[in-house]
Amino acid sequence: MHIHFLDPYRPLRSPVHALDPRVKLVLTLAFILTTALTPQGAWPVYILLLSLALSVQVLSGLGVGYVQKRAGLALPFVLAALPLLFTVEGPALFNFQLGLWRFALTSSGLERFAGVAIKSWISVQAAVVLASSTSFPDLLVAMRAIRIPKLLVAIFGLMWRYLFVFGDEALRLLRARAARSGQAVDNALKPGGSLAWRARVTGGMAGSLFLRAFDRSDRIYSAMLSRGYDGEVRSLPLPPLQPRHTLILATGLVLLIGLLSLAYLLQ
């Protein structure tokens, strides 16, 4: 069994994949920051930012469908902004009553919620493209190159690596359960017990998974210490930026600054 599905990186041959990881990281962070700082109601700039994100997706060879499918996983978290529909003051579109509470959906609240949803959706697309076009070790090296604190980079690296340890232990438990599970000859008979019994078994498996993963991570960490690990994963330094990469970085930053300036001019 393999757990390669945990790694979003897709090794393709495209201009985005060939770009220096430092340039991709800085431009992605700048793009997300620009999207977050864009004022509410600047719909033309929202469209331009979305068009820029879609263009990069096509250029990367990943495909718009691939990116949108993964970006959609983050949209349920936008539901946390639902109270904005009823708490932002403005002209009421309609009212309704739920028990003892009366709610009024305002146009200002709807605009605020739509802005938060669109900006979150666009930002997640940029993060998906970065993760799918850059291997995680290259991202860690790029983080250190742009002077992100080494402790924070070490936390990111260990979190990523132990995610695979956790997934491997989960696959071991599932394989052991499948090896010990019987199947009834009569298809009308359902294997297993009641819903409460299934919940108890699932809870036991979850507890066993946590204990096994914790024990294995402790053994891995001891092995790392015995090999000289001191809190930082060392790697060869990245070569200096090529002139074309520097030009791409400067052009991208100027473009994002221009879009942000345009958004405030439209206010």
Question: Is the pLDDT higher at 70 or at 176?
Answer: 70
Residue 239: band (very low, low, confident or very high) from pLDDT cuts 50, 70, 90: confident
Q: In the predicted model, is pLDDT for residue 1 greater than 50? A: no
- pLDDT, residue 2, reads 47
Measured CA to CA in angstroms, residue 27 lies from 94, 121, 129, 138, 180 at distances of 42, 17, 12, 15, 51
Q: Of the ranges 43-57, 83-97, 141-155, which one carries the lowest mean pLDDT score?
A: 83-97
**Mean pLDDT throughout 195-208?**
79
Q: In the predicted model, is pLDDT for residue 184 greater than 60? A: no
pLDDT tens figures, 209-237: 888 878 887 888 888 888 887 777 677 77
- Angle at which helix 43-60 crosses helix 21-37, to 10 degrees, equals 160
pLDDT tens figures, 85-112: 777 777 777 777 776 777 777 878 888 8
Contact 87, 113 (CB under 8 A): no
Q: In the predicted model, is pLDDT for residue 4 greater than 70? A: no
- pLDDT, residue 258, reads 95
- Residue 249: other Cβ atoms inside 10 A: 19
Q: Of the ranges 2-6, 33-37, 109-113, which one carries the lowest mean pLDDT score?
A: 2-6
